[in-house]
Structure 1
């Protein structure tokens, strides 16, 4: 298991590691304001990693502009994410979580 595995850190340790904004998004299922994130632009090359544990999640070659205000990808790196049904807010959505740390 990774040193960042979701079972081996207290929520206080996660908060200290991530800071307030990243903690809100990664541990409390929050979102950043649409069109405000530094990774919204899809004109970069490279690999997007989990802010919690560093696991590789998405290749920038699979990013596209969905005009929704958040980075969008049509393919994750195999095995890197878990897809979870989210029925909150009166609609069915798919939540994407890091398969290593749950962020």
Structure 2
């Protein structure tokens, strides 16, 4: 009886691990695709800002902002977003998209 339970538990763990890995892979793929679209949409501005210390210093704040889905706004990120919007007033990207582009620099 114990061998049967051990076999069932092992099978359950393997299935759960596979499902979990698939879910993580799908999530990573979705995030990657989102960042690619963001970077493509803001490639002109990001190529100009790739050397900008103000923007590069905002990477940690941008990571927190993206991870919190736009809830955690840091001072360095706010300064970088203002700077980016000043440099490219016609840019129609959300703060979340810009934060993703900052992370991609």
TM-score if structure 2 supplies the norm length?
Answer: 0.25
Structure number with bigger Rg: 2
TM-score if structure 1 supplies the norm length?
Answer: 0.25
Kindly indicate which of the two structures has a greater share of residues assigned to strand. Answer: 1
